[in-house]
Structure 1
Amino acid sequence: MDFSFSDEQQLLRENTAEFLEKNLQPFVRSIDDNGEIPENFFKKAGENGIISPLINGKYGGPGLSFMDSVIISEEIAKVDTSMATSVYYLLNTSWAYILQKYGKEELKGRLLPDIANGNRFIGIASTEPSGGSDVANITTTGEIKDGKVIINGEKMYISGAVEARKNGGGHLTLVKTDKSRGHKGITMVYVPADTEGVEITKLQNMGRMGISTSGIKYDNVEVPEENIIGKINEGFYYSMDGFNHARIMVAAACNGLSVKMLDEGVKYIKERSAFGKKLGDFEAIAFEAADLNTEIEMASLLNYKSAYMADMNDPDFYIFSSMSKLTSPQIAMDTVKKVMMWFGAYGYTRDSGIERSARGIFSYLVGAEGALNIMKMIISRAMLK
């Protein structure tokens, strides 16, 4: 069993880190303060093949692997620790993959090249005001009539709606096309954010300020039938496939954040003195650092296995991606919390940047590609089937 990265992957990590240091790091504070990632960042990232790396060469993308995509996700989270850029990357990577896998050729040819070069956003719209985990019971409807899909309903807590309208793009939207069939009556449809009848209301989050969270209302929204992804009434399965793969990127971002926070914390406790000793000389702190380092390493290895299994098309990969989504956000939150406590009062200030990480990582604890108890349900069902 080989646990090493290839020379190409090592170079990908180094080049990605260098690119982000130059093109993202200078804007990290302003992204959180102003609530916006610089638009030209996406275009530059597209030029470097790191905004939607799973898109293959046929559509202008680099055609990288899931393991490669995990490497990029980790590096993004190390730089923008608010998690905003990580969320943008996660959506463009995972849902472009679903579009590429199931979409009609005309739609893929029209959308994927712009997604790959950073000129178009793509996300997922599944969560509704009644909740996000119970996808089977969505109420947004899609009536197929005269070559069009007519959509009515409401989605809530949708990431990237403002960016999609501003920068171009839209969401793979789940609609009920057969109310009598439960989850077997759901269809996935690509809905551009600038379509007539789409109303976007931005919500105010506590963190990850650089990417919007919104409610979206659909009032007799009409899109061409060609925008249906895959087959009618099979959208539930496409969305589950997307979420299973997206969880790998979520875990990677959490692991990247954990590495960055621990590195900052260890640097601090090696330099900071109290009671005549370096903080790192106190076993209470040094042992915490040892525990965190071990947990982060375990979480990273688990997620690398998830990415490997996804690349191998192993049918059980979803179990391990769920394990990663269950584990990595909790370890990241614990890392941020303990490092903030090492820093003391300074860790609580905005100048330290740690509070920015705490606000951002919470979004992956409360939901984002599945709540933690949903991960436990998936894992336990796989064990007991």
Structure 2
Amino acid sequence: MSDSLSTYAAAATGDDAAELDALVRTVSGFVQTSLRPHEEAVDRADDVDPGLMRDLRRSAADLGIYGYNMPEDIGGPGLSRVAISAIDEATGHTSMPLAEACGHLPGSLLFADAAQRDWFVGPLMRGERTVAYALTEPDAGSDLNALRTRARRTDGGWLLSGAKTFISHAETADHTIVLAVTDRDAPLKGRLTTLIVPRGAQGFTIERRFRKLGWHGYHLSALSFDDCFVPDDHVLGAPGAGFGVMMATINNDRLFVSCRCVGMAQRLIDLAVPHARDRTTFGKRLADHQAIAFMLADCDVEIDAGRLLCAKAARLSDQQHPDARIAASRAKLYCTEMVGRVADRVLQIFGGAGFMADLPVERIYRDARGFRIGEGTSEMQRLQIARSLIDRM
């Protein structure tokens, strides 16, 4: 068992270590043989061919790994959060757009009612349909009190108006889960509602696709809604329960991002160590130069520390421990910043070759930067961690 698997296995309370090992090997094999060969082409084109992605999702579903983070009652495998985190790390060994083929789905699906699980969740779990999640607004990132997108009552449903920005997969998703204000006078936890908006709904417009530093092929778009009608049976959860629905996605996604970053950093060190052993300068191996050896050591320590933070957060989540939320924030803060430091060191170890697009080092260096912003910025994580610390003392 690899060091990474042993870390997660040690945190597990109910998982069989052999089964976890086999599952992660399945995912790793899929990443290695089915996803990585497309990385360079996707990055250069800044797009994934829809037919290719459909085939990849179908392959993941055939392997039984699509929707791997979902519970059994909605068609998922019902894995522990520790096991999910081990798989999350394995998906970090490929690029953002291609990792989508593994089907890490939003936690808000847990709030779907019986009918929605048939027409909405079922096709998602089978990889036949896709979903986007629209939270961020032009003037409201992490500040939910500043949300301006509104949904007002009408006969048989709601009229949705407002704008969202930096929304992943909005162009191609069959449905978009939208967080909107439905009672502006209520406390925050009763003010918001999540609505399922189908692609092509009247009044729903994709305004633009953003060009980005990294994550090429993983599209982020701006959306707008102009009295877009959403029927009552497309409310996800109860009206006014949107805060809880959203947090079911946000908290899990913070841990997901953390584990992905550990996987990215591990891939970088997997590239750097053989290079440092094989490359000779000034009559000796790169690895024998103290400056390079120290860089490798720092990378190794930081990756292990990040993995341990992820495993702890996953274990607390499985235990439904009240500290799980802050543990996920710690992991998200550390791992997203750690992968940037590892990427910088590894690029330096490769020198000019690392700066070229011939190796994945350059792409990972670009991709790493975005994780310190998405799913709650580093500054937001620090605020939450500090408030928790102060409250405990």
Out of 23, 26, 30, which is 1:19 matched to?
30
Determine the C-alpha separation between the residues in 2 that align with 1:49 and 1:36: 26
The corresponding residue for 1:313 is: 320
Out of 332, 335, 340, which is 1:333 matched to?
340
Aligned with 2:358: secondary structure?
helix
- Paired residues in the alignment total 374
Aligned with 2:291: secondary structure?
helix
Determine if contact 2:164/2:223 at 8 Å carries over to the other structure: yes
1:377 maps onto 2:383 in alignment: yes
Determine the C-alpha separation between the residues in 2 that align with 1:143 and 1:48: 43
The corresponding residue for 1:299 is: 306
- 1:58 Cα deviation from its structure 2 partner: 4.1
Aligned with 2:217: secondary structure?
coil
Determine if contact 2:357/2:363 at 8 Å carries over to the other structure: yes
Unpaired segments of 5 or more residues in structure 1? none
Aligned with 1:139: secondary structure?
coil
Determine if contact 1:136/1:182 at 8 Å carries over to the other structure: no
The corresponding residue for 1:98 is: 108
1:362 maps onto 2:375 in alignment: no
Determine if contact 1:56/1:64 at 8 Å carries over to the other structure: yes
- 1:4 Cα deviation from its structure 2 partner: 6.6
Determine the C-alpha separation between the residues in 2 that align with 1:111 and 1:54: 17
Determine the C-alpha separation between the residues in 1 that align with 2:73 and 2:327: 30
- 1:362 Cα deviation from its structure 2 partner: 1.1
Determine the C-alpha separation between the residues in 2 that align with 1:359 and 1:345: 16
Determine if contact 1:310/1:317 at 8 Å carries over to the other structure: yes
Moved more, 236-245 or 22-31: 236-245
- 1:156 Cα deviation from its structure 2 partner: 0.4
Aligned with 1:162: secondary structure?
coil
Determine if contact 1:144/1:225 at 8 Å carries over to the other structure: no
The corresponding residue for 1:69 is: 84
Out of 36, 50, 69, which is 1:54 matched to?
69
Q: CA RMSD in A?
A: 1.8
- 1:69 Cα deviation from its structure 2 partner: 1.9
Determine the C-alpha separation between the residues in 1 that align with 2:33 and 2:299: 29
Instruction: Please tell me the residue identity of whatever aligns with 1:121.
Output: T
Determine the C-alpha separation between the residues in 1 that align with 2:152 and 2:61: 36
Q: What whole-Å deviation, never above 9, does each CA across 1:352-378 have from its counterpart, x for those lacking one?
A: 12111111111102x111000100111
Out of 198, 213, 223, which is 1:206 matched to?
213
The corresponding residue for 2:250 is: 243
Aligned with 1:180: secondary structure?
coil
Unpaired segments of 5 or more residues in structure 2? 1-6
The corresponding residue for 1:41 is: 56
Determine if contact 1:73/1:253 at 8 Å carries over to the other structure: yes
Q: What whole-Å deviation, never above 9, does each CA across 1:138-180 have from its counterpart, x for those lacking one?
A: 000101221212100000000111220xxxx222211111122
Out of 174, 177, 181, which is 2:186 matched to?
181
Determine the C-alpha separation between the residues in 1 that align with 2:167 and 2:385: 26
- 1:131 Cα deviation from its structure 2 partner: 3.1
1:149 maps onto 2:158 in alignment: yes
